[in-house]
A and B are shown apart, each in its own frame.
Chain A
């Protein structure tokens, strides 16, 4: 496993300039988590509308490039989507990182697919799996808070 496969351009870019950072206005749900191993923190805010779509979402957090990039990519991937899509993409993502499975959901654009699979290198670094998955687990907890 080459280091540059882990730290790809897309990841470095999202790590340095995370999208949707902060607390989104009028959020309806939120959840937070931290990694005791390294002190990474993430707090996800989302606005669910009556059609069970995520109208808006954002995150606050600090951590390594992998955890920030993962949270940032997450927000871009699920914004405007409904819960059935979110559950599937989240399961797919966690399966990719933990079990080296391919992404099966077919409603992603080629760009989204490239972005989300840029994190697949993490599967070769077992100690970093939690960095990549924490935001996704937190997203699901946030959805379940109401």
Chain B
């Protein structure tokens, strides 16, 4: 599949926004969906739908087989060792909450330290906060440097003999910094500390190989990978799958239920309570096929080329301040314009058909550190091209015209 013509695969681009072609620069928030994914959802509901893992009728068998085949597909895609290491969740947020809850219940006690970074999205900080308020754990923040990076030495400095888990983002959704996750995992392994990686921004833009990264947990958000909403994947190393207690209680995750006792299912099943997302899981296989047809490395290099082109254009505009200059930048570009609030920027860009996000992007800790309340963010997906960046940078000039600055 050629990236050049890829917009055609996404029906959303057929429409005009405020009379202009849609320039979608909000993929870090959620990506658009290719037709194959949309078709799979409706096709599945039309021909194969049933609840999975329960009934024995024909449709239930069909649906269950399809559903479980996706577990194998994901296992292969991220190069996990065992299919039980793939846990379906409602999003990366739930994946992190699951680890914080199950790991925390068993291993976190008063005074124990949880190491995160100042780059974290609220979803990789707030779940740990519960362990602080309920168990008296301590949350430590590895500091971000002036480039918007978190360096390996900073992580090293923050590790103590009380550190029980390290929870870090793969790619920052604000500065775009790509963290040296493999090095961090190696460092943690020397000290026997498990590592959770928030792969929300990492997975859509990089080749993720669980054997190479070596982490204990990796949380994925499927709707940022051209897949359906309401679905996430948590990779959990086999030893933790066997060791950690269940997360939520309900149907499907039990072994035997009596009035005075309950035993739980084993493997990934004990973490998947209640009716699972079905069409979402089934259609996510199509999203992965779509990515594989182009090749994640081709996607990443295309996105980087578009991003660099956009950055270059913005750097020529003296009123634009680009947030962060990390050594390796994921496909995120946060910026401010002198004397124009990001919220106003977003409204004016929208009038030109350009969709961006403005605000703190669920990273208040980082924005406090940067000393700014809000930033504007353009984020790149496979469907963006240099022409989009031309329209984007012209639209920024239009902001300055409207505000007469």
B358, A38: Cβ atoms closer than 8 Å: yes
What separation, in Å, do the CA atoms of A91 and B78 have in the docked complex? 56
A38, B339: Cβ atoms closer than 8 Å: no
What residue in chain A is nearest B352 (Cβ atoms)? A3
- Residues of chain B lying within 8 A (CB to CB) of residue A66: 343-344
Known: A7-B403, A12-B404. A39 touches B347 (CB 8 A): no
What separation, in Å, do the CA atoms of A41 and B373 have in the docked complex? 9
A residues 1-44 near B (Cβ < 8 Å) are 3-4, 6-7, 12, 16, 37-41
Write the nearest CB–CB distance from B69 to chain A, whole angstroms: 40
- Residues of chain B lying within 8 A (CB to CB) of residue A41: 373
Known: A3-B402, A7-B403, A12-B403. A63 touches B339 (CB 8 A): no
Write the nearest CB–CB distance from A59 to chain B, whole angstroms: 16
What separation, in Å, do the CA atoms of A34 and B259 have in the docked complex? 49
What separation, in Å, do the CA atoms of A127 and B403 have in the docked complex? 20
B347, A128: Cβ atoms closer than 8 Å: yes
What residue in chain B is nearest A9 (Cβ atoms)? B404
Known: A63-B341, A64-B341, A128-B343. A39 touches B348 (CB 8 A): no
What separation, in Å, do the CA atoms of A7 and B340 have in the docked complex? 12
A16, B343: Cβ atoms closer than 8 Å: no
- Residues of chain A lying within 8 A (CB to CB) of residue B348: 3, 7
The interface centre, meaning the residue of B344, B351, B402 with most chain A CB atoms within 10 A of its CB, is B344
Per-residue A-contact encoding for B388-405, CB less than 8 Å = 1, 0 else: 000000000000001110
B residues 355-396 near A (Cβ < 8 Å) are 358-360, 364, 367, 373-374
B359, A39: Cβ atoms closer than 8 Å: yes
Interface size of A by CB at 8 A reads 20
B residues 296-343 near A (Cβ < 8 Å) are 339-343
Write the nearest CB–CB distance from A14 to chain B, whole angstroms: 13
Known: A3-B348, A38-B359, A39-B374. A63 touches B402 (CB 8 A): no
Identify A65's interface contact among B360, B367, B373, B403, CB under 8 A: B403
A37, B359: Cβ atoms closer than 8 Å: yes
Residue numbers of B with Cβ under 8 A of A are 339-344, 347-348, 351, 358-360, 364, 367, 373-374, 402-404
7 closest residue pairs by CB, A with B: A64-B341, A64-B343, A39-B373, A39-B374, A38-B359, A3-B351, A38-B343
> 14 other contacts beyond A16-B339, A38-B359, with CB at 8 A cut-off?
A3-B347, A3-B402, A4-B402, A6-B347, A7-B344, A7-B402, A38-B343, A39-B360, A63-B373, A64-B343, A65-B344, A65-B403, A66-B343, A127-B347
Residue numbers of A with Cβ under 8 A of B are 3-4, 6-7, 12, 16, 37-41, 62-66, 125, 127-128, 131
Q: Give me 20 A-to-B residue pairs in the complex whose CB atoms sit less than 8 angstroms apart, sorted by A's number.
A: A3-B347, A3-B348, A3-B351, A7-B348, A7-B402, A16-B339, A37-B359, A38-B358, A38-B359, A39-B359, A39-B364, A41-B373, A63-B341, A63-B343, A63-B373, A64-B343, A65-B341, A66-B344, A127-B347, A128-B347
